[in-house]
Chains A and B, each alone.
Chain A
Amino acid sequence: MWKEKNWADYKFHIVILLCCILAEAIGAIKIPVSGVTITLLPLLYSMIFVLVVYMIKPIRFVKEKQAEIGSAFLTLSVAFLMAKLGITSGASINDVISAGPVLILQNLGNVGTLFVALPIALLLGMGRESVGMTHAMSREPNVALISDMFGPDSAEFKGVMTCYIVGTIFGTIFMSIVPPIFVSLGIFSPESAAMAVGAGSASMMTAGLAGIMEAAPEASADVLTAFASISNVISSSISVYLGLFITVPLGNVIYKAMRKGR
């Protein structure tokens, strides 16, 4: 019976190991683009290598079944990562406490995006799916919430899944490019940018964090890590409540108001 266990699929895990080793052996690649340096990190290549293996049809042992295993392993390896991040945060606890109010309040940025993204979605002619799509930077808890509120066959659910899938595919790449540019150009301080990357999934957060560290070598890596990870813990703890009590009701109001205005 142990052969059915997720961890017993050794072929799959060996593929993962080889992709990781290859990615790390290549190392970070820096591309200067007119004064701003974009850093591509091994975490991106490891994702792309595994994706390529998945896409190669003859390799039968990395397919849908392994996506399920991968999803279980992803959750637990994020737990592992959180232990490391928690330790770094504890080591910088004084900085965390002095930034406490900012750390907590900037999470309301999750609400702010609604005012921009929802009207634009409606102007593009989208229907009810726009409410699900823009209610949060959707990760697993948000998908579950929308499914609960509107049902898995609703337009809103289709919307939240769209944002979820686009986030899975582009979120990490996006986070490893955009926040470092904001830091390099001096629009955000490295500390603010570190807090802001905490809003998404753990992998988006670390991709953003790594990029910010590269872009701001003078800032304390431990403090940036602490800010990003605490912000991530706070936002993943409150995202369901924000959606339930604030962003979905507010989204409904904006939706109705804009529909009437036409």
Chain B
Amino acid sequence: MERKSLREEFIDWCMTFVIVAILSVACNVVGYGGVLLESLPGMLIFAAISLAGLTIKHFVPGDLPAVAYIALIGMVLAMPFSPVSGFIIYWANKVNLMAVVTPILAYAGVIVGRDWREFVKIGWKGVFVSLLVIFGTFFVSGGMAEVLGNVFGM
């Protein structure tokens, strides 16, 4: 597959974020008592941070996922020493976390639809073991956090 130019990708990212922002604002207003105009600055902030992270990922080689850069940029900007932290946290808080998540799961719905036929072919053993893996990961991680929390005196 030919590699898209950054300019081309950037336009795709921007258009995608416009749509994602419309969806998130709609959820924020309908589900969490958000105000339309007050939700917009947060959207711009999230989009700007995401674009920065994706651009870094485009240029930096290595296996670190783009989400790691994005989370890191968001985190640094919101830390107490950052001159923009107050502004960023204020507007980010105008958008409920779940308002950003509901659209993600809506898109996941079509993927589940596509995978459904494959899923039906998996026998009960496969489903059972896979659920065990998910449960085991949660259970062992949580158990370790409990134990380590005591050790480190959290």
Contacts and interface: CB of A to CB of B under 8 A. Distances in A.
Given A67-B111, A236-B68, 20 more contacts: A7-B19, A41-B98, A54-B114, A71-B111, A76-B20, A77-B20, A82-B50, A86-B73, A89-B75, A109-B140, A120-B132, A126-B129, A166-B127, A172-B108, A175-B138, A191-B145, A210-B97, A229-B71, A233-B68, A241-B63
Given A78-B67, A133-B133, A168 B146 contact: no
A202 interface: yes
Contact of A79 (B27, B53, B140, B143): B53
A236 B142 contact: no
Contact of B129 (A74, A86, A117, A202): A117
Chain B interface mostly = helix
Contacts of B23: 13, 16-17, 20, 77
B138 A210 contact: no
Contacts of A225: 97
Interface string B2-34: 000000000011011111111110110011100
Given A17-B26, A99-B154, A89 B71 contact: yes
Given A117-B129, A168-B112, A206-B101, A80 B50 contact: yes
22 contacts: A24-B31, A43-B104, A47-B112, A51-B113, A72-B16, A74-B107, A77-B100, A86-B78, A87-B49, A87-B78, A90-B75, A109-B138, A117-B132, A126-B125, A133-B130, A162-B129, A174-B134, A179-B138, A192-B146, A196-B137, A209-B97, A240-B63
A196 B142 contact: yes
Contacts of A233: 67-68, 71-72
B133 A163 contact: yes
Nearest to A8: B15
A171 B134 contact: yes
Interface of B: 12-13, 15-24, 26-27, 30-32, 42, 45-47, 49-50, 53-54, 63-68, 70-80, 82, 85, 88-89, 92, 95, 97-116, 118-119, 122, 125-146, 148-149, 152, 154
Contacts of B32: 24
Contacts of B127: 166, 170
A198 B142 CA distance: 10
A83 interface: yes
B87 to A, nearest CB: 11
B71 A86 contact: yes
A237 B12 CA distance: 25
Contact of B103 (A20, A102, A161, A175): A20
B134 A162 contact: no
A83 B78 contact: no
Given A80-B50, A162-B122, A195-B145, A202 B104 contact: yes
A42 B12 CA distance: 28
Contacts of B102: 20, 23-24, 42-43, 46
Contacts of B79: 90, 93
Q: Which 5 A-B pairs have the closest CB atoms?
A: A86-B74, A50-B109, A109-B141, A90-B78, A113-B136
A19 B106 CA distance: 7
Contacts of B135: 174, 178
Given A82-B70, A174-B131, A237-B65, A110 B145 contact: no
Contacts of B125: 121, 124-126
A141 interface: yes
Given A108-B144, A200-B137, A233-B68, A21 B75 contact: no
A173 B114 CA distance: 18
A203 interface: yes
